[in-house]
Amino acid sequence: METVPKPSRDVPPKKNRLQAKKKVETSLGWKRKTRRYWEEETSLTAAGASPGPPSNKKNRELRHQRPKNTNIQKKSRFSRAQPPKKPRELRNPEPQRSLSGAQDPFPGPAPIPVEVAQKFCRIDKSKKLPHSKSKTRSRLEVAEAEEQEISIKAARSELLLAEEPGFLEGEDGEDTAKIRQVDIVEAVDIASAAKHFDLNLRQFGPYRLNYSRTGRHLAFGGRRGHVATLDWVTKRLMCEINVMEAVRDIRFLHSEALFAVAQNRWLHIYDNQGIELHCIRRCDRVTRLEFLPFHFLLATASETGFLTYLDVSVGKIVAALNARAGRLDVMTKNPYNAVIHLGHSNGTVSLWSPAMKEPLAKILCHRGGVRAVAVDSTGTYMATSGLDHQLKIFDLRGTFQPLSARTLPQGAGHLVFSQRGLLAAGMGDVVNIWAGQGKASLPSLEQPYLTHRLSGHVHGLHFCPFEDVLGVGHTGGITSMLVPGAAEPNFDGLESNPYRSQKQRQEWEVKALLEKVPAELICLDPRALAEVDVISLEQEKKERIERLGYDPEAKAPFQPKPKQKGRSSTASLVKRKRKVMDEEHRDKVRQSLEQQPQKQEKKAKPTRARPSALDRFLR
């Protein structure tokens, strides 16, 4: 007779274990409920009610809930500790709400107008490659998408610019040209009023001056050898020397730590302590200086008629070009494309690049000699003045045609454009300023915006970057004028930071040297550098075919892929090949029909009433 085995003392029977477990749970006042790790706790249905099922009467009583700690992980002897699992996201998430529970009525980023974003876009989407490969087309699409995203970010960050350009507006019927500098100083705040000052230096005049790229430092040199640099905002003198030689021009280099002085014989380089670092004797009898910051090139014009480019990063002369026009006294740079403009005594203005031995273009501007030339910051307009007392503004966007002209009672000897397109002209001891409608707009020459009379004849003009200040060098010294609305109110802290420290300046110099643009890339249209040279590309392709004997880029003949279930028979393969050949033939015929009307228009000849004997020479 079989008997049921008795349970051992250590292992209780299954029924007894379940009953003991229930007794422990009821004694502690809680009951375990199986949950999944992605389930969230539901809200209590009533005050003090437990999340248990409502059918059980015992669960309705107030019970202590077991504290849950999601950060505590179960330890295992054979498995490593794993990070806590995140709950799965809901398929239909609710809209985000604030702490108060209110919903955002305008979710997502704010929309940007197309016109504002177009201002920062640098890719012309109208130009497309006609026959481009799929890989090239995909790369272009990715580049266009990145450019669009960057332009939207730039347009969105423009809203954060706190400063706005200033302006000068008179009362009803009041002419702003009659407002004096004393009235402007009394109307502005103390910090702006301190930017207007006069330096009485009649002993060493007349003076030429130049501001640094950051607009914080000022360098000026007198005809009798006086050279000085200072922080004109705090009026702290950096250095002051006398070179015991005539000074014809002065220019800051890439930073305020170095500046170049065109002395009577040679070109000299000094540091901010007034110590002479270099004497460049190959640049002799220099009359004018210009510095190209992105190329690290110092351009010099001399009495001998040579235009010389000096690379200050390596100390070598890149190019020495003979203008063949005599003494060079008039020179300026185009900030947009780094092209040098030279004014000559025959009334022409020539445009030069170190990559070419001949001028890029010549513009006949005046009947007499050219006295002054200036180009605006966008490279759109060029202002010239000549011995015929004419002040003209030309369009540099390929046409080189005069847009406006004005006859002055006394010819302008010096011209300069501000960052926002204001044009200043020095005529004897008077400075006139003309303004337009805004940045990159044509200045109106009908009525001057401001007028100021000095204590001596003007010998140098320069607008201070990022400050509504015009520096004037004359025979009596230096004058700082207040010109509302002349400069850009906001600056790029990574490019031209007036408040940078010495460490920041050193890091910027290293970065600028690494990003230096080669001198060979200077041309009239810098956008042409990003385009494909189709003529050179076709010539290289033709030479490659002649050298190899075949075209490696030719399209391979169509070869049908094999198919299963009897569909790769010889007849089906021939049929598929012929179908592809017919499609290609149709495309060629369609292209020829589209090009036929254009050829007929080119061959069309003007009809005449009577035939002429010269018609046989026409082709």
Q: Residue 274: which region, alpha, beta or left (left: phi > 0; alpha: psi -120 to 50)?
A: left
The residue with greater pLDDT, 163 or 303, is 303
Q: Which residue has the higher pLDDT, 607 or 233?
A: 233
Q: Give me the percent of the chain exceeding a pLDDT of 90.
A: 50
The confidence score (pLDDT) of residue 97 equals 57
**How far apart, in Å, are the Cα atoms of 521 and each of 143, 153, 517?**
23, 29, 7
Q: What is the mean pLDDT of residues 522-534?
A: 83
Burial 151-177 (b: 16+ CB within 10 A, else e): bbeebeeeeeeeeebbebeeeeeeebb
Greatest mean pLDDT range, 5-9, 83-87, 257-261, 558-562: 257-261
Domain of 317 in residue numbering reads as: 176-507
The answer on pLDDT for 48 being more than 90 is: no
- Whether 512 is covered by a domain: the verdict is no
Mean pLDDT of the chain: 82
The better pLDDT of the pair 33, 480 is held by: 480
Residue 441 domain-assigned? yes
Q: Which residues contact 448 (CB under 8 A, 6 or more apart)?
A: 177, 432, 433, 434
pTM above 0.85, yes or no: no
**The one-letter amino acid at 252:** F
Distance CA 181, CA 483 (A): 9
pLDDT at residue 305, rounded to an integer? 93
pLDDT of residue 118: 80
pLDDT in tens, 319-377: 999 999 999 999 999 999 999 999 999 999 999 999 999 999 999 999 999 999 999 99
pLDDT of residue 13: 52
Answer whether 116's CB lies under 8 Å from 158's CB: yes
**Domain-located, residue 168:** no
Q: What is the largest CA-CA distance in the chain?
A: 141
Q: Answer for the pair 366, 345: CB distance below 8 angstroms, yes or no.
A: no
Confidence of residue 61 (pLDDT cuts 50, 70, 90): very low
Q: Read off the pLDDT of each residue in 507-527 and give the average, rounded to a whole number.
A: 92
DSSP symbol at 613: G
Of 355-359, 443-447, 461-465, the least confident:
443-447
pLDDT at position 471: 96
pLDDT digits (tens, 9 = 90+) for 63-106: 444 444 444 444 444 444 455 554 444 444 555 555 667 787 87
Overall domain count for the chain: 1
In this structure, the dihedral spanned by the alpha carbons of residues 604, 607, 613 and 618, taken in order and rounded to 10 degrees, is -20
Q: Is residue 570 part of a domain?
A: no
* The pLDDT value given to residue 436: 84
* 48 Rama sector, left if φ>0, alpha if ψ -120 to 50, beta otherwise: left
Least confident span in 131-135, 201-205, 420-424, 496-500:
131-135
45 CB-near residues (< 8 Å, 6+ apart): none
Q: What CATH number does the domain containing 471 carry?
A: 2.130.10.10
* From 1-10, 362-371, 383-392, the region with the lowest mean pLDDT: 1-10
Tell which wins on pLDDT, 157 or 349: 349
pLDDT at 250: 97
Does position 293 have pLDDT exceeding 80, yes or no?
yes
